[in-house]
Amino acid sequence: MRLSVGEKMNKLLALALCLLVVVLGTGVLPARAAQAFNFVVTVSEQNLTAGSRNKIGFTLFNNSEKEVTGLDAKLALPATSSLVIMTDNWWRFSKVASESPVSFSTEIYAPASSIGSTYQATLTLTYNISDTHKLTEDHALGFVVYGRVEMTAYGVTVDPTPTAAGGNVTVSATLQNKGNAAATYVNVTLRGGSLSLRPESTTYIGTIDPNSPTPLSLTANILDGMSNGTYPVTIVVSYKDAQSRDLELLVPATVVVESSATGATVQTGQTIGLRAFLTQSWLITIGGVVVAAVVVAVLFYRRRRSTGRALRLGT
């Protein structure tokens, strides 16, 4: 059976009335669209280092087509947060032109107990547009706290001093991590234009925990033909911090080269062969002298016995 146009309209109206009753009865209304912010907020750093005052910069960009007046910005942390805002947490700007930024900064301290924690701060913006009505925006900002690695070196020594060109030299030092998190993938090597590197010129340490002194010694050869003088060398300590950033510590040292230096050990193949030859020759010489002395002593002893016997027969 075909419905007339009037009957169709009545059915649609009845359906609409039913939906309205359901909505009013349940209190369920269609979801509102998310608030469209007029400001874009940029934060310079959201990774905080524990045990340090972290400087955080903020930039507010007026993305609207109208000038904003009476802008107030307030930063707040949760009451349960262990973070502390060390400087200002409230800023005021008389006006911000359309498509223009304003910037400010603060410092946040993160204690060592907060390592590995995440926190959400709120930056609340209150302002007027065209002096007609006041608007408010709440921007959620997330922060993560990482441990601090502070690598230092002390007790740097160079042995021997001075040394000769072609000789070997050993550079020693002690590394210490004064931070509150472990340094990982620690690798140490010597660097210097006067050095000929050897396998002993590099060492892999791996992990250095906080407050754990780690001694090391690296050996290299002084290049042949180096003139007398003082030459800079560097202990290069490469490692990763708690944020997996690649960092380096450069520890300076100096080597002194003198052609008349004693105690320098040349580690070339020719020198080793020469040393072995001289040692062998020295041993052969000593052995020959001992044998000759024994032969002379034996002959002298026999001669004395023969002389004594002849004297007794004559009497």
Asked if residue 171 and residue 134 are part of one domain, the reply reads no
User: Which structural domain range is residue 71 located in?
Assistant: 39-146
Question: Which tokens in the block code for residue 180?
Answer: 């509150």
Among residues 151, 149, 123, which one has the least CA distance to residue 136? Answer: 123
Question: Tens digit of pLDDT for each residue in 154-163?
Answer: 999 999 999 9
Cα 305 to Cα 295, 310, 314, distances in angstroms: 16, 9, 15
How many domains does one find in the chain?
2
- The stretches of the chain forming alpha helices (DSSP H) are 5-26, 269-314
The answer to whether residue 10 is domain-embedded is: no
Asked if residue 175 and residue 101 are part of one domain, the reply reads no
Domain boundary among 109, 124, 146: 146
Question: Tens digit of pLDDT for each residue in 253-307?
Answer: 999 999 876 544 444 444 444 444 444 554 555 555 554 665 556 465 566 555 5
Asked if residue 160 and residue 115 are part of one domain, the reply reads no
Asked if residue 226 and residue 195 are part of one domain, the reply reads yes
The model's pTM? 0.66
Asked if residue 160 and residue 121 are part of one domain, the reply reads no
Question: Tens digit of pLDDT for each residue in 34-87?
Answer: 457 899 999 999 999 999 999 999 999 999 999 999 999 999 999 899 999 999
Read off the CATH number of the domain in which 90 is found. 2.60.40.10
